[in-house]
Amino acid sequence: MSEQPSPLAALFDLDGTLVDSMPSIAGAMKETLAEFGYLVSTDAIMPLIGAPMESVVTKLTGVAESTANQIYERYLTVYYDDMIQTTQPFASAEKLLERLHDAGIPLAVVTNKSEHGGKLMVKIQGWEKYFNVVVGRDSAARPKPWPDGVLHALGAFRVPPQRSAIVGDTEFDMQAGREALLHYRIGITGSRTVDELSKAGSTHIIDDLEAVGDILLTGQHEQGHNRVY
């Protein structure tokens, strides 16, 4: 009898992937920057979300690291006190998570939020039953695009990269998955273009979360930068 393949693990980004949090994040950052005298539009902030927020501050303002950290600390208060509770999931997120959970696939969050922030978002959405592992920017040595958080999550599951997937909407997710040698690196269009996701190392590019289930559970789509409609 042939040996069964090891179980597949699926790692998910949160913001812009499972939850429609980009507007609230950008709104919190806009409000915070204004308090420090920087008038920046949400349109300028949105394309930068996904990176650690201190680096977003630096790109938008050019301030020194110490000031960027100060602005970031204030942003956390604005975001977590006023805005995170309003975050809505994407329409097909619950259906996808339920499908993968029922199939016995271990699921983890790997986010550039803090671990506390990631767990809070999971709690707000009522997804604790799906995610036993939540890896934040402070859970491992380095945040995405470095692979540390991805490898940290796989270590918790004891699943090899060759049987694992990452699902995200930015180049930071794809780069982290590529550096960790994950077999599936599924990019979702929206905040980034097909070209940006492809250049960052995606193996699949999709328009809707429901396609993730088809890729992971049915093997319907082979690797090779396939566009799934």
> Quick one: 92 and 205 in the same domain?
yes
Structural domain total, the chain? 2
Q: Is 4 part of any domain?
A: no
Same domain for 135 and 58? no
CATH number, position 125: 3.40.50.1000
Q: List, for residues 133-142, the tens digit of each pLDDT value.
A: 999 999 999 9
Could you list the beta-strand ranges (E) of the chain.
Answer: 9-12, 107-110, 131-135, 164-168, 184-188, 204-206, 226-228
Please write the tens of the pLDDT for every residue from 27-61. Answer: 999 999 999 999 999 999 999 999 899 999 999 99
d(CA 228, CA 207): 7
Query: Is 114 part of any domain?
Result: yes
3 band by pLDDT with thresholds 50, 70 and 90: very low
Under the banding of pLDDT at 50, 70 and 90, the label for residue 82 is confident
The pLDDT value given to residue 227: 53
Whether residues 57 and 110 share a domain: the answer is no
**Structure confidence by residue, pLDDT tens digits, 165-220:** 999 999 999 999 999 999 999 999 998 999 999 999 999 999 999 999 999 998 65
